């Protein structure tokens, strides 16, 4: 009798173990997954949204991206552009990503000296025809550098124009990545460049009068004018960051260009405003660091 009872107990435990194993097995493969005989192969890892090694680069923006006044007075010098130039002194973003030969064949510069944000949608339209895997954007300085404070681009218009440029890109290239550089610190440009008598003379020709006009004036009106321009640049940078953050394939520099503490060595010796060759190299470093970072 006792032996029969033990046999029945072992049988009950075996059944319980089988039931438990079956439940555990179901949870392990998913409620709608087949049993052991038809176990699904593991799903491949999803492709990351951001590729740190894009295979082609297009650039849009203003005179900074054209290398204006970096090589000669009043002249574009795209060879030293931070974004797409081939100069060994700069090692542009394209060169760092693609190699020198790759950059020569798979990078394109559609920036234009004097361009403002309102010009970016048309530039983007040209860029998308190349089908780049990365678009590099630097625009906004000319929206603040106007003949007067009142002539600066309103923040709402700046936002609408940047959003329009992004829509232009996304209609044709939903998977192309975007790097967005912040607008440089124009007030620091004033504080650095005003140490040069030559620079101040050049500024009188009309370079960024909203910030650089009357460079030696330190009265309340001049101080307020410069502070107003500075605030507008900060507002532009916030727009760039916010619009970019809404796009899963866009990375901004999070204000790194704006925060960079450049000196006179990074300024053009012809106008003390645009980046020198060394300044272009610094911009390329920031861009490359942002694009190749493992996360935003």
- DSSP bridge partners of 177: 134
CB atoms within 10 A of CB 153: 19
Count of domains observed in the chain: 1
Is 42 a domain residue? no
Does the pLDDT value for residue 151 go beyond 50?
yes
- DSSP bridge partners of 136: 59, 179
Is 10 a domain residue? no
**Tell me, what's the pLDDT at 228?**
98
CB atoms within 10 A of CB 277: 19
**Tell me, what's the pLDDT at 103?**
97
**Tell me, what's the pLDDT at 36?**
40
CA-wise closest residue to 225 among 240, 211, 208, 244: 211
pLDDT tens column, 166-186: 999 999 999 999 999 999 999
Is 112 a domain residue? yes
**Overall average pLDDT of the 286-291 stretch:** 98
DSSP code per residue over 144-185: HSSSSGGGSPPHHHHHHHHHHHHHHHHHH-TT-EEEEPPPP-
pLDDT tens column, 236-263: 999 999 999 999 999 999 999 999 999 9
Question: Which residues 6+ apart lie within 8 Å of 217 measured at CB?
Answer: none
Is 7 a domain residue? no
Is 22 a domain residue? no
pLDDT tens column, 14-39: 433 333 333 333 332 233 333 344 44
Query: How would residue 7 be classed by pLDDT, with cut points 50, 70 and 90?
Result: very low
**Tell me, what's the pLDDT at 134?**
98
CATH code for the domain of 75: 3.40.50.1110
Looking at per-residue pLDDT, the higher value among 278 and 18 belongs to: 278
Among residues of the chain, what percentage have pLDDT more than 90? 81
**Tell me, what's the pLDDT at 289?**
98
Query: How would residue 47 be classed by pLDDT, with cut points 50, 70 and 90?
Result: low
Is 4 a domain residue? no
H helix count then E strand count, the chain: 12, 5
Query: How would residue 199 be classed by pLDDT, with cut points 50, 70 and 90?
Result: confident
Is 26 a domain residue? no
Domain range for residue 115?
A: 57-184+234-292
User: Which token pair is 245?
Assistant: 């953050």
Does the pLDDT value for residue 11 go beyond 60?
no
Looking at every residue in the chain, the average pLDDT score rounds to 88
Is 27 a domain residue? no
pTM: 0.83
């Amino acid at each position: 009798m006792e032996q029969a009872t033990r046999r029945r107990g072992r049988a009950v435990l075996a059944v319980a173990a089988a039931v438990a194993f079956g439940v555990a097995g179901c949870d392990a493969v998913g409620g709608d997954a087949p049993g052991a005989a038809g176990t699904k192969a593991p799903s491949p890892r999803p492709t990351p949204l951001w590729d740190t090694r894009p295979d082609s680069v297009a650039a849009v923006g203003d005179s900074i991206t054209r290398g204006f006044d970096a090589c000669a007075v009043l002249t574009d010098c795209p060879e030293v552009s931070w974004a797409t130039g081939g100069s060994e002194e700069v090692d542009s973003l394209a060169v760092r990503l693609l190699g020198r030969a790759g950059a020569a064949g798979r990078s394109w510069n559609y920036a234009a000296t004097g361009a403002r944000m309102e010009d970016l949608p048309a530039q983007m339209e040209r860029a998308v025809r190349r089908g780049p895997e990365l678009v590099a954007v630097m625009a906004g300085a000319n929206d603040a550098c106007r003949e007067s404070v009142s002539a600066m681009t309103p923040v709402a218009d700046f936002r609408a124009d940047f959003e329009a440029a992004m829509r232009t890109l996304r209609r044709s290239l939903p998977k192309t990545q975007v790097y967005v550089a912040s607008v440089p610190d124009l007030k620091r440009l004033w504080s650095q460049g005003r140490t040069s008598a030559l620079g101040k003379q050049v500024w009188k020709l009309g370079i960024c009068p909203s910030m650089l006009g009357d460079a030696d004036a330190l009265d309340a009106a001049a101080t307020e004018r410069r502070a107003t321009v500075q605030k507008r640049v900060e507002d532009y940078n916030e727009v760039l960051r916010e619009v970019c953050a809404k796009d899963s394939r866009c990375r901004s520099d999070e204000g790194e260009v704006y925060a960079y503490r450049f000196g006179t060595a990074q300024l053009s010796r012809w106008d003390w405003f645009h980046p020198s060759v060394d300044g272009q190299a610094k911009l390329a470093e920031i861009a490359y660091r942002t694009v190749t970072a493992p996360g935003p």
